[in-house]
A and B are shown apart, each in its own frame.
Chain A
Amino acid sequence: MSTLRLRGAPPERIDLLNVTPLALKGLSEAEAGKLTVGTSRRGVSLGDLFDISLDGSDTLVIEGGSDRLDRVGAALSEGAIRVEGDVGQRLGEGMAGGTLTVSGSAGPFAATGATGGTITIEGDAGDHAGGAVYAAKAGLDGAILIIKGKAGDQLGDRMRRGIILAGSAGAQTASRMIAGTIVVSGSIGDHPGYGMRRGTLIAGGHGALLPTFVETGTPDLVYVRLLAQTLKRLGAAQTGLLGGALRRYSGDLATLGKGEMFVPA
Chain B
Amino acid sequence: MADLTLNGIKVEDTFAEAFDVAGTAIIVTNDTPKWAMIAATVMTGFATSVIGCGAEAGIDAELSPEETPDGRPGVRILLFGFEPNGLKDQLLKRVGQCILTCPGTACYAGVEGPHKIKLGGAIRYFGDGFAVAKRLPDATGKMRRYWRIPVMDGEFLCEDSTRAVDGAVGGGNLLFLGRKHADTLIVAEIAVEAAKAVPGAILPFPGGIVRSGSKVGGRTKGMMASTNDAYCPTLKGRAGSALPPECGVVLEIVIDALTSQGVAESMRAALHASTEIGAKYGLVAVTAGNYGGNLGRHHYHLRDLLEKPAA
User: A and B bound?
Assistant: yes
Which of A's residues lie within 8 Å of B, judged by CB? 142, 144, 161-163, 179, 181, 198, 200, 219-223, 225-230, 233, 258
Checking A219, A228, A229, A258 against B132 with a beta-carbon cut-off of 8 angstroms, the contacting residue is: A258
Which residues of the partner chain A approach B133 to less than 8 Å between Cβ atoms?
Answer: 179
Query: Distance in Å from the Cβ of A239 to the closest Cβ of chain B?
Result: 12
Which residues of the partner chain B approach A222 to less than 8 Å between Cβ atoms?
Answer: 29, 70, 72, 106, 154-155, 157
**A217's closest neighbor in chain B, by CB?**
B154
Checking B139, B154, B157 against A219 with a beta-carbon cut-off of 8 angstroms, the contacting residue is: B154
Which residues of the partner chain B approach A227 to less than 8 Å between Cβ atoms?
Answer: 136
Query: Distance in Å from the Cβ of A164 to the closest Cβ of chain B?
Result: 13
Is B181 in the interface zone, CB < 8 Å from A? no
Is B53 in the interface zone, CB < 8 Å from A? no
Are A225's CB and B72's CB within 8 A? yes
Are A225's CB and B71's CB within 8 A? yes
Are A233's CB and B139's CB within 8 A? yes
Main secondary structure of the interface of B (DSSP, over half): strand
Which of B's residues lie within 8 Å of A, judged by CB? 29, 69-72, 106, 130, 132-137, 139, 143, 146, 148, 154-155, 157
**A260's closest neighbor in chain B, by CB?**
B132
Checking B71, B72, B130, B148 against A223 with a beta-carbon cut-off of 8 angstroms, the contacting residue is: B148
Which residues of the partner chain B approach A142 to less than 8 Å between Cβ atoms?
Answer: 135, 143
Are B155's CB and A223's CB within 8 A? yes
Which residues of the partner chain B approach A198 to less than 8 Å between Cβ atoms?
Answer: 132
**B31's closest neighbor in chain A, by CB?**
A220
Q: A179-B133, A220-B154, A223-B148 are in contact. List 20 more A-B contacts (CB 8 A).
A: A142-B135, A144-B137, A163-B136, A181-B134, A221-B148, A221-B157, A222-B70, A222-B106, A223-B155, A223-B157, A225-B71, A226-B69, A226-B70, A226-B157, A227-B136, A228-B71, A230-B136, A230-B137, A233-B139, A258-B130
A222 to B148, CA, bound (A): 9
Are B136's CB and A226's CB within 8 A? yes
A219 to B150, CA, bound (A): 12
**A224's closest neighbor in chain B, by CB?**
B70
Query: Distance in Å from the Cβ of B155 to the closest Cβ of chain A?
Result: 5
Are B137's CB and A229's CB within 8 A? no
Are B146's CB and A223's CB within 8 A? yes
Query: Distance in Å from the Cβ of A223 to the closest Cβ of chain B?
Result: 5
**B69's closest neighbor in chain A, by CB?**
A226
20 pairs across A/B with beta carbons < 8 Å?
A144-B137, A161-B135, A162-B135, A179-B132, A181-B136, A219-B154, A221-B154, A222-B70, A222-B106, A223-B134, A223-B146, A223-B155, A225-B71, A226-B69, A226-B146, A226-B157, A228-B71, A229-B70, A230-B137, A258-B130
A225 to B154, CA, bound (A): 13
Lowest 9 A-B CB distances belong to which pairs? A222-B157, A222-B106, A225-B70, A226-B70, A230-B136, A219-B154, A229-B71, A258-B132, A221-B155
Which residues of the partner chain A approach B29 to less than 8 Å between Cβ atoms?
Answer: 222
A181 to B154, CA, bound (A): 19
Which residues of the partner chain B approach A225 to less than 8 Å between Cβ atoms?
Answer: 70-72
Number of inter-chain CB pairs below 8 Å = 51
Are B134's CB and A229's CB within 8 A? no
A162 to B143, CA, bound (A): 9
A181 to B155, CA, bound (A): 17
Scoring A161, A228, A229 by chain B CB atoms within 10 A of each residue's CB, the highest score goes to A229
A227 to B135, CA, bound (A): 10
**A259's closest neighbor in chain B, by CB?**
B132
Which residues of the partner chain B approach A162 to less than 8 Å between Cβ atoms?
Answer: 135
Query: Distance in Å from the Cβ of B166 to the closest Cβ of chain A?
Result: 28
Query: Distance in Å from the Cβ of B173 to the closest Cβ of chain A?
Result: 39
A162 to B157, CA, bound (A): 18
Which residues of the partner chain A approach B132 to less than 8 Å between Cβ atoms?
Answer: 179, 198, 258
**A144's closest neighbor in chain B, by CB?**
B137
Scoring B69, B106, B134 by chain A CB atoms within 10 A of each residue's CB, the highest score goes to B134
Which residues of the partner chain B approach A223 to less than 8 Å between Cβ atoms?
Answer: 134, 146, 148, 155, 157
Query: Distance in Å from the Cβ of B45 to the closest Cβ of chain A?
Result: 24
Are A200's CB and B69's CB within 8 A? no
Are A200's CB and B157's CB within 8 A? no
A231 to B69, CA, bound (A): 12
Scoring A181, A200, A222, A228 by chain B CB atoms within 10 A of each residue's CB, the highest score goes to A222
Which residues of the partner chain B approach A200 to less than 8 Å between Cβ atoms?
Answer: 134
A227 to B148, CA, bound (A): 13
A222 to B71, CA, bound (A): 9
Query: Distance in Å from the Cβ of A236 to the closest Cβ of chain B?
Result: 12
Query: Distance in Å from the Cβ of B127 to the closest Cβ of chain A?
Result: 10
Checking B69, B106, B146 against A229 with a beta-carbon cut-off of 8 angstroms, the contacting residue is: B69
Which residues of the partner chain A approach B146 to less than 8 Å between Cβ atoms?
Answer: 223, 226
Which residues of the partner chain A approach B143 to less than 8 Å between Cβ atoms?
Answer: 142
Query: Distance in Å from the Cβ of B150 to the closest Cβ of chain A?
Result: 10
Which residues of the partner chain A approach B157 to less than 8 Å between Cβ atoms?
Answer: 221-223, 226
A144 to B106, CA, bound (A): 25
Query: Distance in Å from the Cβ of A228 to the closest Cβ of chain B?
Result: 7
A39 to B157, CA, bound (A): 49
**B148's closest neighbor in chain A, by CB?**
A223
**B147's closest neighbor in chain A, by CB?**
A223
A200 to B136, CA, bound (A): 12
A179 to B71, CA, bound (A): 24
A181 to B133, CA, bound (A): 11
